[in-house]
Each structure stands twice: as structure tokens, then as C-alpha cells.
Chain A
Amino acid sequence: MRKTECLAMILAGGQGSRLGALTKKIAKPAVPFGGKYRIIDFPLSNCANSGIGKVGVLTQYKPLELHNYLGTGSAWDLDRKGGGVFILPPYAREKGADWYRGTADAIYQNLNFIDLTDPEYVLILSGDHIYTMDYSWMLESHKMNKADATIGVFEVPWDEAPRFGIMNTDKTGRIEEFEEKPPKPKSNLASMGIYIFTKSVLKKYLEDDAKNETSSHDFGKDIIPKMLADGLHLHSYAFDGYWKDVGTIESLWQANMDLIQEEPPFELHGEWRIYSSNPSMPPQYVGPEAKVCKSMITEGSMILGEVTNSVIFSGVRVGKGAKVTNSVILPDTVIGENAVVDYAIIAQNCEVAAGASVTGELGAIKVIAEGETVKADAEGKQVG
């Protein structure tokens, strides 16, 4: 078996507390997105399509559904001889056990796994972004620049730059300075949380960082600034495709809506396939009185009412006379007859009873948590 040149590690332990009701039972990377996917499908598919055959997935917060979803990795063609998907939750050692205390600590605690694989390079990814990217080009650039670390960067609008970790680079793209959420940014190149490290360098810095008791054990806050201070060669790798952080309800909703534009800014069709675990569902049935437009709908759904400007996952039922607009309906949820859903995200296995309504508004998307039932009261207003 060919030696693994580049090992990918996906940080998938985040709680995603800003996603509120959607992450009550599952980790953020397992949150459904785009009609049939989950957020983690994007980095995993990117790995598979970039020719990276060995991927560690570091889990911590409510990991069971995520573990179950990942399975053997076969959905992403990552059930490979000598490679594939490795699920890496925190584990006990001689002197007790620790949680992952930060992004850098999570990787530090799995240095043994990295040593077992012994790659030249380690690609660090996070499990909460929607984008398609060929990591093999980034790796090429890392090698060509003979960099110690390469950081994926993305141009954000200047007025939003103060919300990001900003990289100040020279003309060649070499990073001179890193500023976390600068009030007066000198550049608008934001870190995407995608790093390629030369393994030997990464190992040294992680080991040093682990000994530092004042460190918060975070790549952005501790490791990268330390490397820059030591004069290491850190290079930026500019990405100019679609990239969306879906860490909040509004951004998750918006990213779903992006997919159903007449000319979507992000096209799922195409050579770069996004893989996902497939639930063996039949083609969707659209009934005689249904009306569907400007929407995305997945297998196994039955649509008898109206769906406009919405994303519908598998196994969803939309009853006769129901109206679903500007909303995202997650798998196996039932929207009863004559129910109204507008500006909402309705999680898995919910029921919006006949005649009930769930309405939010732009900027205040209504969220119904997994497994809940929304009943209709006498006036047809929602009470649940």
C-alpha cells in the first residue's frame, strides 16, 4: 500500500451552541443541509475527491448520531484498504482522561494516530463550513512554497472583516501577521480554518503548546501566532469559490436558500460530487393539486400542497392545502393539511398538525426542534 502523503483531520467536536434547537441532540457537523446532506459531507467529499484516502474525524460533543452516520465511511468511498475514515473521540490514558480542550489540543491528543500513519503533511479541517475545494492544489502550493504551514484564506467584505481572523500577507502570499478579529483590519483575507502543516513542524509546536499552561490550545489563537513569532514560513492559499460558515441559524438558513436561487452561487451539480449516506427512498411524488417552484426536494417525499422557496429533505410529507414557503424541512417531518410554514427550519421527525402554523420572519427564523409536534389551536395559531 502506498504511504499516506497527506493525512486529513476533521475537527468535528464542536457543540454549535449558536444553532440552538438544531444541535440539542446532535453535533454541529451532523446537522442536515441542502436537502440530503449533512454539513460534514462537504469536507469528507472534498477529501475523497481530492485523493485524500485517510481521514481522522475528531468527535466529542453528542457524537453518537455522527458516529452512526459515518459508519465505515463507505458513503464517501472512504472504506479503503490501509485508509478510510477513523473516528477519534477523546480516550483514557494511564493518568486519566481529558476532554479536547481546544482545536490544537484535540490534534495533540491524537499525535499517536498521526505517528501511526506517518504522513509528510497534515491537513486540518473543520466540520462546519459549506464549500467545495480541491485540497490537492493547496497541498501542491504548500510544497512549492516549501512552507511550514499553509492557511486557506478567503476574501470577505471589508466591513465584515472585523468578525474574522485576518491574515496580512506580502505580495507573494507569505503571511506576515495574523490578527484575530481586528477592529481596523489591514487586509480582508479571512482564515477559513483550513490548514496544511508539515508534520514534523506541527508535532513540535503541538508538544510545546501542550506544556504551556496559559495557552487556550487553539490553532488560531495560539499555534499560528507562535509560529509567526518564531519566523516560520506561513503561506496563504487564496480560495475564491463559495464558502459559507453555517454556525448560526440565520447563516444556515441563508446557505440553504442560496441553493435555490434561479442561478445558485453554489452549484451542487457537476463533476465535484458531494457524497452522502443514501437512505434507499423512492423518487418523490408530487400530487395532482401540488404546486412546487423555486425549491429543492429530495427522494421519498410526498408533496400534496404548495412548496415555494424551500428546501425539503427525504421522507417529508406536505399535506393537501399546506403552504410551505421560505423554509427548510428536515427528514421525515410531516406538514399536515392546510398547515402554514413560513421562514422556518423544522427539524427531523416533527409534526406540524393540520391547520397549524409556524411562521418566522427574515432575521428571526423560527426553529422547531427534533421530534416536536406543533398543534393548532382554535384560531389556527401555533401553541406548541
Chain B
Amino acid sequence: MAKKRKRSSDAAAAVEKPDEFAPQRPERTLFGFKEKPADDEEAEAEPASEGEEDAAAAAAAAPFRNKEKVLVTCSRRINYRYRHLMQNVVSLLPHAKKDSKVESKQSKGNALNELLELRSCSSCLFFECRKQKDLYLWMVKSPGGPSVKFLVNAVHTMEELKLTGNHLKGSRPLITFSTNFDEQPHWQLVKEMLTQIFATPKDHRKAKPFHDHVFVFSIVDDHVWFRNYQISVPHNEIDKVDKGGLDKMTLVEVGPRFCLNPIKIFGGSFGGPTLYENPFYVSPNQIRALEKRKKAGKYAKKVKAKVRRKMHEMENTLEPDEFAELWKGED
């Protein structure tokens, strides 16, 4: 008897629990979610209670809502490693849409712009692989926004066994930037774009309400380095860390890792006027060509040295040896 009662009380607790922390969704209307007069959003915008009827007033007073959608795609003939990197990025961004590969031609910009419009995406990550070894990443804001082209270096995918962390799929990441992002305008722009693309929109339907991983964007040596760590912190409640838990917090790397070297910033999406050009950038093709030329120089140097030696010998010929004839008569 006693057992039975206990179980029923357990069940009741289990029923109660989910409501406890499930984020309450605002009521849905024809034009999107009805904004609830939430106390935390009051600070930035007036309560939109009467704004529902008056569309113009609502537009002016509507609180900010992030409706970012990111199209993630890649060029044809992409390397498997880079494809895995792309898939990892997709798994990190619940607000991403995948699309089929795009031919990497001169006219890819137009095709991609069209695709963005079709999929109603506001930004795009395009992984362009050239020569099966060089990966370029286009980071684009869709209709009119700027686009940044990066060269991707030092790629490590999530599949690597050295990266031992794991986190919820779709939980919203904390994003940390190094302060040197604010030093120059082009870095500011890159920071804004990274924030918009990599931050999962609040209350996105695929997002989970907890924060258990953190992204690192850091500028070292004029490259943007990306890392993704799992946060493990001792806690019993869901809205409070244990006492002293913040000091005991540890991070485990989840991956992927990559390093972005900005090449150019354009004014339009996939094109437009060039706003910035990296003065230090050397294309990998040039680097390879230089290396080749260095190697080729080895032989040329040898030939040159030989010629020089010959010339030298011709110029100062040896005097005839006085002992040359000495042993001639013996045999």
C-alpha cells in the first residue's frame, strides 16, 4: 500500500518537473509570436500589448527578434575533411540550412544569391574548396550586406579522438571574443558577422534552453582562431552554480578547430566593391609556386656553378708542370 502511494507521488513530481523549466512560449498569432509583456524586455521596448493592432506602431516599438537563418553549403569536389568540417558547423548551428553543392564557377555568386533568396536565408557560409587542398570560406550577409572571404587553415574536425568533449545539440553557445576585435573597423565588421551567424537565435524552435558550450573567437597573428569547449561545472539546481563552482569549472574541447585568414571584404553579397584587402595575404598557390621555384633553383645553381668554374679555369690556366715529363721514359 505504502509503495503504491509513493509511486503515485513520484509520478506527480515527474509531471510537474517539465513545466518547471520549459520555457514558456508566447502565444502564436497570424503575424508571428505575440510578444508577452515580459519584465526583462520592458527595458528596451515598450510593451507591445496595444501594438498588435497598429502595425506601424508595432514596427517602431517591436522588441528585437533574431530571425537569422544561415545557409551552409559547399562547392563541388570538396575534400572529405573540409566536408566534415562543414557538417560539424551545421551541427553546431541549429538555425542553419543545408543545401546541395554548388559549382564553384565565376557565376557562383549569382547562383548563391538566388539560392539564399529561395531559402529565405539572411546569411550564408559557403565553403569553397579549390584544387582539393585549399579551403576558402565565404561569410555573407544576404540581401545587401557585406561578404568576407577567408582562407581556412589548421582544420581539425569534431571526429578527432583527441577532442573528448560533447555537448547538447542545439544548445545556445556563449561566445567570447578577444578585445583586439574592436581595434580596427574590418575586425569590428567581422565580429558583428560572426556574432550574428554563430549565435543561435534566442527562442529558436530547435534550440535547447541550456548553455553548455562556449565558442572562442580570438585574433592571433591577424588570423581568427575558432575553438569550441564544453562547460562542465558542478551544480544541483538549474539556475545556480554550486558555491565555489565557478572556480571548479573546467572546459573540455569539443571541436572543430579552424583558423580564418581574411582575404577580402566586399560591399555586396558575393561581390560588390572591395572594402578591404588583406595586405599580408599570399595565396597558397603563390606559396607553392615559390617553394617549387626554390627547389628548381637548386639545379640551376649547380649548372651556374659549373659554368663559373669553367670560366675561372679558362681565365687563369695552370702553368705547364715541370715534372710532367719526368716519368714518361720509364714505360
**Are A and B physically bound partners?**
no
**Which residues of chain A have a CB within 8 Å of any CB of chain B?**
none
**Which residues of chain B have a CB within 8 Å of any CB of chain A?**
none
